[in-house]
A = this chain, B = another copy of it.
Amino acid sequence: MFDEVKSLNEECGIFGVWGAKDANYLTYLGLHSLQHRGQEGAGIVANDGQKLRAYRNLGLLTQVFSKPEYLNSLLGNSAIGHVRYSTAGENKIENVQPLLFDFTDSQLALAHNGNLTNADTLKKELEKDGHIFKSSSDSEVLVHLIKQSQKSTFHEQIVEALNKIQGGFAYLLLTKNELIVALDSHGFRPVSIGKLKTGGYVVASETCALDAVGATFYRDVKPGELITINDKGVKIDHWTTKTQLAICSMEYVYFARPDSNILGINVHSARKRMGAILAKEFPAPGDIVVGVPNSSLSAASGYAEASGLPYEMGLIKNQYMGREFIQPTQELREKSVRQKLAAVKGVVSGKRVILVDDSIVRGTTCAYIVQMLKEAGALEVHLRIASPRFMHPCFYGIDIQEKSELIAAHKSVEEMNQIFGSDSLQFLSEKGLISAIGLKADAPYSGLDMSYFNGDYPTYLYDYESKK
């Protein structure tokens, strides 16, 4: 998928560590492997048992920690970190996480992946009580609810607070004494726990981050769980028992790194199966199979294998593309786009190309890619999408909250085919996607949130109900 252009952005990656020397550096490594989940801001809060210290800023992780002293100043054996996506232009340092709260008698740091559906309502109520929010994100509401709670222990306060919020959340909370992990009752976002050889524990949005720090997989966090990690070890508890798995299907389709396992299923392999099933459902009269780099390469190779056609590198992505790239005059704009993605003439010329993309969101680049392939000499371009039509916005943590942004919500398959200039266009079926992922939970859609495709939201949407 054509990253910057697709405008389909995960809102965060989270990472935590307890009980390890160099907690700051481990968190840096862990976040680095989660960078694909958010490129707009990054931060780490470390805890040396006496004090929590934070460093965060806008930009990529390596830009935020541009000087080693920024990282070195974060002392202690535990830490949490966050990488974040935010809408371009909103240069809001306040929203970069982890948030660190300095109470007069204690400190609390928080990192959140997800989106609350009743945050606005809660915020208004809290503001009426005089509460003031430091960020415009929804993540902070939890802390206000904790502080508002009249319960006597911190844990009881957390449980009470968690029971008031709705939507998707994987929370990491860090205090002087413990690292707390909480997952929403549907498990919309993945979180896994790993164990370090030296004895400590790490928590991460994806298992690729466990591998990155050399931790072995310990277990996935389950819906409704409230897990406490401290010097005594891991204590698994839950804040609610009313749970039903509905993990985001787009994590498998697009967001997660291919080397991650989500609930035991390898992402690359799931994508290959999507491609293979797609080939069965919608064969195409092509000579070669080409994937849109990088996210669609797995699905494309699955399609090729299943169809017995050669898998070819018909498109190539420039790995040196970055934000520093100088934008040209309007006249040269098109040439600039070629810098990101280029058609491989020597491969596609004179061929009927089956182009596999993982998904279509706005569709803005599809037309461009098809045209580029044809200019490079492709005789035909048959577009095959390795997921169903994306017709409904997400309110649990993905940056697509307006139906108007989704081309499939407004155009028929045939209309899209004409807009893109492709010779045929087909989408993987819902059933095919569920089968390809292969999750076997005793829940609707085998435990997947398929609302993107069918509008069947697993929860009431509260503040967003009208946007459905």
Contact = CB atoms under 8 A, between A and B. Distances in A.
Nearest to A32: B339
Given A147-B127, A316-B259, A347 B62 contact: no
Interface in A122-139: 123-124, 126-127, 129-136
A345 B259 contact: yes
Contacts of A54: 92
Interface in A166-197: none
Contact of A123 (B104, B123, B213, B311): B104
A130 B131 contact: yes
A335 B214 contact: yes
A346 B143 CA distance: 37
Interface stretch (A22-30, A279-287, A411-419): A22-30
B208 A326 contact: no
Contact of A310 (B60, B265, B267, B305): B305
Nearest to A315: B259
Given A63-B324, A301-B311, A347 B32 contact: no
A261 B346 contact: yes
Q: Is the interface on chain A under 10, 10 to 19, 20 to 34, or 35 or more residues?
A: 35 or more
Given A143-B132, A211-B345, A338-B211, A320 B32 contact: yes
A344 interface: yes
A456 interface: no
B211 A325 contact: no
Contacts of A32: 318, 320, 325, 339
A144 interface: yes
Contacts of A63: 324
Nearest to A61: B320
Interface stretch (A66-74, A224-232, A357-365, A393-401): A66-74
A28 B208 CA distance: 36
A48 interface: no
A384 interface: no
A335 B35 contact: no
A144 B127 contact: no
B316 A258 contact: yes
A77 B212 CA distance: 44
B68 A326 contact: yes
Contact of A339 (B29, B55, B269): B29
Nearest to A208: B342
B22 A332 contact: yes
A46 to B, nearest CB: 13
Interface in A209-268: 211-214, 257-261, 265-268
A69 to B, nearest CB: 9
A103 B128 CA distance: 10
Interface string A305-326: 1000011110010111010111
11 contacts: A22-B329, A29-B332, A32-B339, A101-B133, A104-B120, A134-B134, A266-B346, A268-B313, A268-B344, A272-B310, A301-B312
The 6 closest A-B pairs by CB, nearest first: A266-B346, A134-B134, A259-B344, A62-B324, A35-B320, A130-B148
Interface of A: 22, 25-26, 28-29, 32-33, 35-36, 39, 54-57, 60-63, 65-66, 68, 70-71, 73, 89, 91-94, 100-104, 120, 123-124, 126-127, 129-136, 140, 143-144, 147-148, 207-208, 211-214, 257-261, 265-269, 272, 294, 297-298, 301, 305, 310-313, 316, 318-320, 322, 324-326, 328-329, 331-332, 334-336, 338-339, 342-347, 376
